[in-house]
Structure 1
Amino acid sequence: MTSSTGRSRVIYTPAPLTTAEKVRRARAWADHEVITRLVAARIRTTGRRRALPLDAVAAGIMLHALGRPTAMTISGVTRTIRAVSPSERFALGFPPGAVIRYRPVLSGFHALREAMGTGCLVDHDHDLTADEQTGEVDDCPDGCPFTPASLDDVATGLVQASIPTTWTPPSVVAIDGTDVESAYRARTSSARADDDALRSPDGDARWAKRTGTDRRPSELYFGYEAHIATFAPEPQGESLPQLAAGLALRPGVGDRAGAALGIIDALRHVTEVLLDRGYTTSRAVNLARPLRERGITVTMDLHSTQRGVRPGPIPGSLWIDGALYSDALPEPLRHLEPPKIGDTATEKARARELFDKREAYRFTPLARRHDERGTQRWKGPALAGHLRCPNTPASMRLGRHLPTAGCARGGACACGKTVTVRDTDLERDRQPFAWQSTRWALSFNRRSLIEGLNAQLRYQVRNVNRGYFRIPGLLATTLLMAVTLAAHNIERLRDWHLGRHQPDPWQVELGEEPSTEPMDRHTWTRGRRRPYRG
C-alpha cells in the first residue's frame, strides 16, 4: 500500500507471536515427517528410557529459536522450556511432572544430531543379507521402512517442515552462501585441513576467505559456509516472502557446486535456479552438466574468464559472452562492458540497450533438445526473421524496422543457416537469455532475494554471527542452522501475510482464530541520492 501522496509505502508490522502460538507452531514442526523419522531412528527398545522424549526436545529447540535468542545454546533451550507453564510444556510433548535439566536436553540434542549423520532417516528393520559371490546386498522385503538420506536432504527437510501445506512454493530458487564463523578459534593460521582438525576444538571447521563489505574488509575466517536457497517469483511477478527453501553446510569454502546440487535434489520440484559466479565458475561436469541432465535451467552472472569472443561451431558464427551469434554482428557490439554496481538506473538502462541490440544477430532454438544425441538445432537470425540478410532473400522482404546485415552476397554467411550444437559446446557459460540483456536482468535481479534473506539472518532480524552457535561440529551446526531458518520461515510467513491483511498460513493449518490485534503502522520513503561533492 502507498500513502495518499503516492511517494511513501505504508508498512504494517503485526504484533509478536504469543507464547501459546509459539508452542503450537513448535509442536506442529516437531510432528513433521522428517523430524518424526529422525526421532524414530534413535528410539531404542532396550536399556534405560530417556528422561525426556526426543520429539519434545526438538519442539523445545524450535520454541527457543522462535524467541529470537541472542545465541542458540542448549542452556538457553533449557531455560526457555523451564520458563513456560506446565500446560505449555505438556503441549510441547513433555510428560507431566517432568524435570527439565540441562543434561537430558543435551542428550536429546546429541541424539538428533547423530541421527542426521547416519546416512538414513530410518534404519532397516531386518538383518541385511548379500550374495556370497558378487557381494551385492539383497533387496529389502516389503514393508521395510529404510529411507536413505544425505545431510543436505535432512537439513533441507527440517527447513521445509516450517512451510505449511496451505502455502504453495514456486519452482524457482536462488542460492547463495554466507559464512558461519565457528565459536572456537584455530591455533594456527594455516589453511591445511590436517592442521585445522588437530589444532582446533571444532575439528570440522576450516579456514576460508570472505569478501569485504561496507562492514568489514576481506579477511580469513574459521568456520563453515551455509548455502541457503530461497524461493523466487516469475520475472515482474507478484512478490513473495523471503523464506529459506533449503540448506547445505560445508566446512570452509569448498564444494559449492555439490552444495547447490544437494539442495536442488532435496527440493525435487525446482525448474530454474539463479546463481552467482561463486557457483557457475565450477567445472561444467560439476554443475552445468548435472543441472542440464536434471532439466533445470540456470540464470547466472558471468565471470571475466567466461566472457569474450570465441569461434562458433560453423564458419560465420561466434560465441560471445556465452551466446551464439552471427559474425554479421557489428564490431562495436562485440566487446561491451556491463553496467557497474554504482551506476544509476538510467545509466544501467542505457548500457543494456547496447546489449539488447545484439539480440537481432543471435541464433535461436529451431527444435527441442535431442536427449539421446545430446544435441540441439539452432537457426540463424535471418532464418528466424530477426535480421535482414542479402544471402537470405526471404529476410530482405521483411520490414525495414529490422537491422540489415552487412554480409557480402555469396560470402560465407551464417545468418540463414542452421547449426547443430552439442550439449558439451561451451556448456558452462550458456543460459536461456543473453547475458546483460534486459530480459536477462529482469530474471537475474530476482537473486537479490537471497541477499536480503542473508542480511535478515546476519544483521536485521537475527544475529547469526560468531558466537550464535556454540557447539562444535558440522552436524551440530547444521542442525541448529536448520532450526534457525525454520523459525525464521514461521515468523516471516506470519508477518508477510498479516501485513497484507491476509490470513497467516499457519493459522489456517492449525485452525486458529484470525488475528484481531492492531498492527503498528509506519511509512517508508525512498531517499533521493545526493550528488557527490568531493
Structure 2
Amino acid sequence: MKARRAGQSRPLMSSTGLSRIIYKPPPLTSAQKVRRARAWAESDVVSRLVTARTHNVGRHRAYPLDAIAAGIFLHALSSPTAFTLAGVTRTLLSASPSDRFALGFPPRTVIRYRPILSGFHALEDALGVGFLVPHDHELTADPETGEVDECPEGCPFAPASLDEVATGLVQASIPSTWTPPSVVAIDGTDVESAYRARTANTGTDAGDRPAADPDARWAKRTGTDRRPNELYFGYEAHIATYAPEPAGEPLPQLAAGLAMRPGVKDRAGAALGILDALRHVKEVLLDRGYTTSRAEKLARPLRERGIAVTMDLHSTQRGVRPGPITGSLWIDGALYSDALPDPLRQLEPPKIGDTATQKARARELFDKREAYRFTALARRRDELGSQRWKGPALAGHLRCPNTPASMRLGRHLPTAQCLRGGNCACGKTVTVRDTDLERDRQPLPWQSTRWALSFNRRSLIEGLNAQLRYQVRNVNRGYFRVAGLVATTLLMAVTLAAHNIERLRGWHLARHQPDPWQVKLGEEPSDEPMDRHTWTKGRRRPYRG
C-alpha cells in the first residue's frame, strides 16, 4: 500500500463530487480528557472566577474550586446525554484516583454530590457578579461624602460583564497556537428551560405559583422541517463562530463567543456584548433578527467600533428613496445615480427554493447596478462624521455625456441616458453623513454576487447550532437542568468549550495536521486510523404536522 506523505490531506469529497466525506477521529482517552480539562481550569478567566470565590477565612471547602471546574469540564468532554451536576458526580466517581488527583482533587478524596453542587453555585455567583480588572493604585475617597475619587489616566480597572466572562470561558478552549480570523458570524438558538412555566399571580392554587426558573421567558421560535412555529419557555443563546474570507481556506466550526438572554430580547445588545469581548473582530455577519434593530442600538455602535457588517435586508429596509443630492437615489441601502434604468430599480431577490442557476441569473441583474453605484472617495472622516463619495462616471464605471472624460472610456462600459447639460449626479461628489440611512447601509451592495459570496458564510453559524442541537450534542429541553440565567450561561459556555476542543481535534486530524491541543500539552501525535462515512445533500421535505 502506498504510504501517505506527511501533511497530505485526506479527500474531503467523494470521487463523484456529490457526497462529502466525514471523518470521525478516535475518541479522546481518559488521560487526554483530564489534561484538557485541567488546562481549561487553569486558564486566566477560570482562575479569576476561582479567586473571586476563594476565602482566606472560615471553613475550607471540601474540594478545591478549580478541581470542581475541571470536573465539570471533564463531564462535558464525555458527551453526556444531559448536562447535570449528578452526571458530573458520576463522571468523577468513575474516574480513577490518579485522574482525580490530576484534576486537582486531594488524594483519597471521597466524591459526594453536595460539595460538587456547592462548588457549582460558587462559580455561578462569581460569574453573575463578574470579575474585575484590579486598580494599579490605592483608592482614595472624599472623607465627607464617601465618594471614591476618579482613577488616574491609564488605570486598567474595568468590570467584566456576563457576556465577557461567558465569551472568555469559550475562548479558553482555543489554544494560543491557533490564530483566529477577524470575521465572525452571530446567530441565536433557543435554549428551552427544563422547568414548567407558571403564572406570576400569587394564590392558593398550585397552578398560580411563580415559575421555578424565574429568569426564563416565553418566546417564539421559527419553524423548521422538524417542528412548526411555536412558543417556548427559556432563553436564547447568541453564539458567534469564526468565518474565513469569501475565497479563503475553510476553518473548523468553532464557537467564538456566547451571550445568553431571557426569551427573545436585546439581540443587538447580545451581539455587541460578544464583539466587545472578542475585541479583534473587523467584520460581522448578521441576519435580519439583529439588523432590524434601531440604528442607535446596533448600526451606530458597530460603526463606532470600526466593525463592518454584512447583512440581509428586511422588506422595510428595501426600496427606492431620495438621495442626498439631486440626481441620486438610495436603493436597497446603497447610493446610486438616477441614471439607473427603471427595470433595475425594483428587483426581487432569489427565493430559498431556487436552484443555483436561478439564483445566479437573478443576481446578474443586481450586478448590473454596480456601474451606476457611488463609490467611496476616501476614508471616512471620523472628526466630521461623514464620508465623501464620487459618482459612477467620475469613478470610471459609467460613460455619461455630462462627464466628457468618461465618454473616452471603452465601449464595454454602459452609457447613461442622461441629457447633455442636465442636472445628473454621475460626475459629482457628495458628502454623506454617517447618520444617513445608517441602519440599512453595508459595504457590499445587497444581493450582488460579491455580497452573496460574503453573506453565505453566515451558514457556518447555522451549522454550528445544528451540531449542538441535533448532530453532535442534544442541547434541547432537559439537557440543562438548572434554573436561572447565570447557571444556564455557565453550563452553555462549558458545553461550547468542550465542543471546540473536539472540533479542533477532528478537523486537524482529518487533514493530517497536529491537533493544537496536542502541541500545547506536549502530547505525541495521533496515528490511529479514523472512521469515515459520506453525507449527501438532499432536498428536505417540508413539515406537514
Interval of TM-score (by shorter of Structure 1 and Structure 2): over 0.9
Alpha-carbon contact 1:120-1:147 (below 8 Å) kept = no
**What runs of 5+ residues in structure 1 fail to find an aligned partner?**
191-195
Match of 1:505 in 2: 516
Give the aligned CA root-mean-square deviation in angstroms. 2.3
> Does residue 303 of structure 1 match 2:314?
yes
Alpha-carbon contact 2:198-2:209 (below 8 Å) kept = no
Distance across 1 between alignment mates of 2:105 and 2:56: 19
> Does residue 405 of structure 1 match 2:448?
no
Match of 2:7 in 1: none
Match of 2:440 in 1: 429
Match of 2:104 in 1: 93
Equivalent residues in 2 for 1:39-118, closer than 5 Å = 39-118=50-129
Distance across 1 between alignment mates of 2:414 and 2:278: 44
Q: Which amino acid aligns with 2:440?
A: D
Check 1:4–1:275 CA distance in 2 against 1; reply closer, same or farther (3 A cut).
closer
Which digits, 9 at most, give the CA deviation of each residue in 1:150-171, with x for residues without a partner? 0000000000000011100001
Deviation at 1:503, TM superposition (A): 0.6
Alpha-carbon contact 1:40-1:122 (below 8 Å) kept = no
> What secondary structure does 1:117 align onto?
helix
Check 1:77–1:146 CA distance in 2 against 1; reply closer, same or farther (3 A cut).
farther
Match of 1:348 in 2: 359
Distance across 2 between alignment mates of 1:248 and 1:529: 31
| TM-score, L = length of structure 1 | 0.94
Match of 1:438 in 2: 449
Match of 2:493 in 1: 482
Equivalent residues in 2 for 1:464-479, closer than 5 Å = 464-479=475-490
Match of 1:14 in 2: 25
Distance across 1 between alignment mates of 2:538 and 2:508: 26
Distance across 1 between alignment mates of 2:98 and 2:154: 38
Match of 1:293 in 2: 304
Match of 1:234 in 2: 245
Deviation at 1:214, TM superposition (A): 0.9
Deviation at 1:444, TM superposition (A): 0.3
> What secondary structure does 2:38 align onto?
helix
Check 1:143–1:238 CA distance in 2 against 1; reply closer, same or farther (3 A cut).
closer
Match of 1:263 in 2: 274
Deviation at 1:118, TM superposition (A): 1.4
Check 1:127–1:48 CA distance in 2 against 1; reply closer, same or farther (3 A cut).
farther
> Does residue 325 of structure 1 match 2:336?
yes
Q: Which amino acid aligns with 1:17?
A: L
> What secondary structure does 1:292 align onto?
helix
Which digits, 9 at most, give the CA deviation of each residue in 1:346-389, with x for residues without a partner? 00000000000000000000111111000110000000000010
Q: Which amino acid aligns with 2:504?
A: L
> Does residue 494 of structure 1 match 2:519?
no
Check 1:135–1:445 CA distance in 2 against 1; reply closer, same or farther (3 A cut).
farther
Match of 1:523 in 2: 534
Check 1:197–1:114 CA distance in 2 against 1; reply closer, same or farther (3 A cut).
farther
> What secondary structure does 1:23 align onto?
helix
Alpha-carbon contact 1:78-1:101 (below 8 Å) kept = yes
Distance across 1 between alignment mates of 2:364 and 2:250: 26
Of residues 226, 251, 267, the one that matches 2:262 is: 251
Deviation at 1:13, TM superposition (A): 1.7
Distance across 2 between alignment mates of 1:418 and 1:114: 56
Deviation at 1:97, TM superposition (A): 1.0
Distance across 2 between alignment mates of 1:353 and 1:12: 37
Distance across 2 between alignment mates of 1:66 and 1:96: 23
**Which deviates the most, 343-352 or 3-12?**
3-12
Check 1:4–1:306 CA distance in 2 against 1; reply closer, same or farther (3 A cut).
closer
Alpha-carbon contact 2:195-2:213 (below 8 Å) kept = yes
Deviation at 1:526, TM superposition (A): 4.8
Equivalent residues in 2 for 1:206-221, closer than 5 Å = 206-221=217-232
Alpha-carbon contact 1:115-1:121 (below 8 Å) kept = no
Equivalent residues in 2 for 1:131-142, closer than 5 Å = 131-132=142-143, 136-138=147-149
> What secondary structure does 2:129 align onto?
coil
Of residues 167, 170, 177, the one that matches 1:166 is: 177
Alpha-carbon contact 1:121-1:148 (below 8 Å) kept = yes
Check 1:125–1:167 CA distance in 2 against 1; reply closer, same or farther (3 A cut).
closer
Of residues 166, 175, 180, the one that matches 1:155 is: 166
Deviation at 1:138, TM superposition (A): 2.9
Alpha-carbon contact 2:48-2:131 (below 8 Å) kept = no
Alpha-carbon contact 2:133-2:158 (below 8 Å) kept = yes
Which digits, 9 at most, give the CA deviation of each residue in 1:327-358, with x for residues without a partner? 00000100000000000000000000000000
Q: Which amino acid aligns with 2:450?
A: R
Distance across 2 between alignment mates of 1:142 and 1:425: 35
Deviation at 1:148, TM superposition (A): 1.7
Alpha-carbon contact 1:197-1:205 (below 8 Å) kept = no
Match of 1:276 in 2: 287
Deviation at 1:176, TM superposition (A): 0.3
**Which deviates the most, 61-70 or 10-19?**
10-19
Check 1:75–1:124 CA distance in 2 against 1; reply closer, same or farther (3 A cut).
farther
> Does residue 377 of structure 1 match 2:405?
no
Equivalent residues in 2 for 1:446-461, closer than 5 Å = 446-461=457-472
Check 1:472–1:169 CA distance in 2 against 1; reply closer, same or farther (3 A cut).
same
Alpha-carbon contact 2:198-2:208 (below 8 Å) kept = no
Deviation at 1:423, TM superposition (A): 0.1
Which digits, 9 at most, give the CA deviation of each residue in 1:393-421, with x for residues without a partner? 11111111111101111111000000000
> What secondary structure does 1:216 align onto?
coil
Match of 1:179 in 2: 190
Distance across 1 between alignment mates of 2:364 and 2:190: 36
> What secondary structure does 2:55 align onto?
coil
Deviation at 1:236, TM superposition (A): 1.7
Q: Which amino acid aligns with 1:518?
A: P
> What secondary structure does 2:238 align onto?
strand
> Does residue 222 of structure 1 match 2:233?
yes
Alpha-carbon contact 1:230-1:242 (below 8 Å) kept = yes
Match of 1:193 in 2: none
Distance across 2 between alignment mates of 1:197 and 1:44: 40
Deviation at 1:321, TM superposition (A): 0.2
> What secondary structure does 1:199 align onto?
coil
Match of 2:474 in 1: 463
Q: Which amino acid aligns with 2:39?
A: A
> Does residue 313 of structure 1 match 2:324?
yes
Alpha-carbon contact 2:200-2:211 (below 8 Å) kept = no
Of residues 399, 419, 435, the one that matches 2:430 is: 419
Q: Which amino acid aligns with 1:456?
A: Q
Deviation at 1:130, TM superposition (A): 2.3
Deviation at 1:197, TM superposition (A): 12
Alpha-carbon contact 1:378-1:420 (below 8 Å) kept = yes
Alpha-carbon contact 1:197-1:204 (below 8 Å) kept = no
Deviation at 1:522, TM superposition (A): 2.9
Deviation at 1:8, TM superposition (A): 4.3
Distance across 2 between alignment mates of 1:241 and 1:267: 18
Distance across 1 between alignment mates of 2:185 and 2:491: 22
Check 1:273–1:133 CA distance in 2 against 1; reply closer, same or farther (3 A cut).
farther
> What secondary structure does 1:245 align onto?
strand
> What secondary structure does 1:435 align onto?
coil
**What runs of 5+ residues in structure 2 fail to find an aligned partner?**
1-10, 202-206
